[in-house]
Structure 1
Amino acid sequence: MQVGEPGPGPPRDLQNPPGAPMDPPEPPDLSEPPSQLWGLDPLFSAFVRLFVSDILDMTESTQVPGIFFYNSRPVYKVDVLGTVVFRRERDDFYCYGVDDGTGVINCLCWKTELMREDGSGSGSGTGAGTGTRTSTSTGTTQGGFNAGAELTRLRRAQQNRSRLEIGELIRVRGAVKTNRNQNQNQNQNREITASCFYKVDDPVLAVQTSWMLEVPELYRTCYDRRYQLGPGTETPVSTATALLKDFLQQRSVTRFRPYDVQDLLQPLVPVLVPVQTDPVQPPAAEPDPGSGPAGRVQEPGSGSGPGSGSGSGPARAQQLRQLLQEVLQVLLDQGVVYRRVKSQDEVYHVTVQDTDLLMAVQDVIREDSRRDKYRDTGVHVLQVLSSVRQRYSLNVTRPALDLVLQNLEARSDIISTRDQYYTAL
């Protein structure tokens, strides 16, 4: 052994002698849900349309390698549309570098049996000869259909759709993988193993425009929202919020006061059971029959102390009021309701049912869209919010305005020129 070379180390028996405590296993990562609950999330079994930058930034699961988490939601299959900026071909696969404007990721595309054969070489000649022999020996159908020629044409079409050059548009669906190369960064060595890939013909950029409009909407409505996994994760506040939302939608309520909907939440408040607060007394001797009233035993529940049932009514009513206030605050934060005027008379207006608010927002967008400053680009949502607060109500929140804009856009009263910019029709 040379000088400076490490020795073989202590024997295995000395490293872990008999009777010595074993090293405890690594605790599971509490930031990710248990693997038994991943299938409850719809994203787990879908091809998720994520931007390349988010695919590279996803954290890999510590429980099952090959599963990644975006916003604590399990993902392992993605759907990407981008431009080919890198190309490498081997006998069994293509390797394309796909750029969607946010980043570049390698896509490993395996060749099928038909793609491995050279359609322009001996394979095409063999196919043509086979078609000729078929037509001469067995003859063609009455319509002149030649199976060999059609198979050759389909083979060439498949090769043309799967063999891309730099600058062409490609769509890839597949699983996200990470090569275990210690010399490179883990994110830089992440790639997509394609299960489906093809060249996209988009001469007027219609496909790319539709893609860039749909993907941000998926982020807002699905990907960026937390998803509760497993049973028993709902809280009384979330249950009461869903109940009140359904009631407002089914009855088309325009405005209400807290005492109007308080009875709806009453079944969600548990009944308080009286609890005896007196200390436990040891069993006493049987009282003397002649001791009079002093020896009479008091029946449980007959007294008026703090443990009696008379205090359960006010306590339950207080819990009901507290639950109602928390639910109303959640609805305010989500923009489902808002208060036009803050006063002692608590009146809550339902956002999508308030025709005055819808007309006010539509008028603001229509007037501002006529100005030269916003004629081409549209009016930004913050500009709309500022104008609505000045003209209509100071208490209109951003989530409430977003719901109004979605409602007006669904009715084709306004359109979005780009993200968070709107113009009137």
Structure 2
Amino acid sequence: MFLAKQTLFTSFPTFCSRFIARGIYFYNNHPIYKVDVLGTVVYKRERDDFFCYGVDDGTGVINCLCWKSELFKDKDDGAGAAPGPSDPTVFDPVAELKKLKQAQQKRCRLEIGELIRVRGPVKTSRQQREITASVFYKVEDPLMAEQIQWMMDVPELYRECYDKTFQLQSDKQGESADSPLIKATNLIKDFIKQKSVSKFRTYDVLDLLEPLISRQPQAASADPEAAGPSGCQQVRQLLKEVLKVLQDEGVVYRRVKTQDEVYHVTERDKDLFIVVKDIIREDSKREKYSEKGCHVLHILSAVRQRHSFNVSKAALEIVLKSLVCNSDIVSSSDKHYTAF
């Protein structure tokens, strides 16, 4: 799973420095472009637009470039604002919003000696590797529970994944790149991408696959029954197989299984994104999930109860990955997610 994301959870300085293209590194022939580091801040610099932290994870120090969010660019200090209510029991939205901004800023502004978690792509600057953070935050770990868990997880990841020889996985059905199924799958994916559709029906894409069938030579036979299925039947069967592949990959899903056969595109289903964010935001406040966050299986169960029972784990992982990249949620581990 980590190789599919091409993310290395590390012990960053230990991975191989050999690279074949800009921003692409290799460890035991595993392609790596993004890393996840947990370490101690040993030096810091602050500029108008970014923080620069030196992070020591126990094997070495790497520079982490952490861009400031819009919260730090808000220069309003409350001067000239209307005075808040004298009664402390009265809810003041302006004051509460200011407190929230201050809390979020505190999570991103770290001091030397504090624990930080950084995730993002790797680049080489001035002949030194550095991380351009897509996600970074301060880790509160007074009992060192997070660091101990990290030191247990990383060696296991190396044993199970990164220290094994990297091999490209062949298609499950042994399909070659020129097979009708692969071509048809790519055609539907291109249609989804180019048209920016959020949902579609089978008859919207059926005609896209007809050229793939018409080009196939058909054996001549005197017996009509021995000629096999008609071209229309072949197209429908091919589309059925393609849609199954796309559902297995999580690219599409059916919110409600009806005869209308409406397929929703996972990464463009705004309702699904809102449901997932709300579940993580609400359940992260519960004592049970306040420390490590919500497990992916818990999120999946809640999404199926609240949104649609047909949402697959693969589809949920696409949504979670997108939310993490947009900093809407934070991945506290490879299977746990939380929100602030």
Q: TM-score, normalised by structure 2?
A: 0.51
Does the 8 A contact of 1:271 with 1:316 survive in 2?
A: no
Does the 8 A contact of 2:10 with 2:154 survive in 1?
A: no
- 2:267 corresponds to 1:352: yes
1:2-21 to 2 correspondences below 5 Å: none
Does the 8 A contact of 2:177 with 2:183 survive in 1?
A: no
TM superposition shift of 1:338: 0.4
Alpha-carbon distance in structure 2 between the residues aligned to 1:78 and 1:408: 25
> Aligned to 1:237, which of 167, 171, 181?
181
- 2:259 corresponds to 1:259: no
- 2:311 corresponds to 1:396: yes
In the other structure, the counterpart of 2:169 is: 226
- 2:284 corresponds to 1:369: yes
Does the 8 A contact of 1:50 with 1:79 survive in 2?
A: no
Once the two structures are superposed, residues 315-346 of structure 1 have per-residue CA deviations (whole angstroms, 9 ceiling, x without a partner) of 11111111100000000100000011112221
SS in 2 for 1:319: helix
1:164-175 to 2 correspondences below 5 Å: 169=59
Alpha-carbon distance in structure 2 between the residues aligned to 1:346 and 1:249: 20
Where does the alignment leave 5 or more consecutive residues of structure 2 unmatched? 12-26, 33-57, 62-111, 121-130, 132-149
TM superposition shift of 1:206: 6.5
Counterpart AA for 1:319: Q
The structure carrying a bigger strand percent of its residues is: 2
How large is the Cα RMSD of the aligned pairs? 4.3
In the other structure, the counterpart of 2:191 is: 247
SS in 1 for 2:230: helix
1:22-421 to 2 correspondences below 5 Å: 169=59, 226=169, 233-269=177-213, 270-273=215-218, 275-277=220-222, 306=224, 315-421=230-336
In the other structure, the counterpart of 1:140 is: none
Kindly tell me: are residues 384 and 238 of structure 1, through their superposed partners in 2, closer, same or farther at Cα, counting changes over 3 Å? same
Alpha-carbon distance in structure 1 between the residues aligned to 2:311 and 2:324: 19
SS in 1 for 2:332: strand
Alpha-carbon distance in structure 1 between the residues aligned to 2:154 and 2:212: 39
Does the 8 A contact of 1:381 with 1:422 survive in 2?
A: yes
Alpha-carbon distance in structure 2 between the residues aligned to 1:416 and 1:372: 18
Once the two structures are superposed, residues 62-96 of structure 1 have per-residue CA deviations (whole angstroms, 9 ceiling, x without a partner) of xxxxxxxxxxxxx966899xxxxxxxxxxxxxxxx
Does the 8 A contact of 1:338 with 1:348 survive in 2?
A: yes
TM superposition shift of 1:399: 0.3
Counterpart AA for 1:323: L
Counterpart AA for 2:301: S
Counterpart AA for 2:220: V
SS in 2 for 1:169: coil
Alpha-carbon distance in structure 1 between the residues aligned to 2:332 and 2:277: 15
Counterpart AA for 2:287: D
Where does the alignment leave 5 or more consecutive residues of structure 1 unmatched? 1-42, 53-74, 81-167, 172-201, 278-304
- Kindly, what percent of the aligned residue pairs are identical? 44
TM superposition shift of 1:348: 0.6
Once the two structures are superposed, residues 89-126 of structure 1 have per-residue CA deviations (whole angstroms, 9 ceiling, x without a partner) of xxxxxxxxxxxxxxxxxxxxxxxxxxxxxxxxxxxxxx
Length, aligned pairs only: 207
TM superposition shift of 1:169: 2.9
Counterpart AA for 1:415: V
Alpha-carbon distance in structure 2 between the residues aligned to 1:244 and 1:208: 36
Alpha-carbon distance in structure 2 between the residues aligned to 1:79 and 1:255: 33
Does the 8 A contact of 2:176 with 2:182 survive in 1?
A: no
Once the two structures are superposed, residues 174-226 of structure 1 have per-residue CA deviations (whole angstroms, 9 ceiling, x without a partner) of xxxxxxxxxxxxxxxxxxxxxxxxxxxx9877699889899979x69xx5861
Alpha-carbon distance in structure 2 between the residues aligned to 1:385 and 1:232: 33
TM superposition shift of 1:239: 1.6
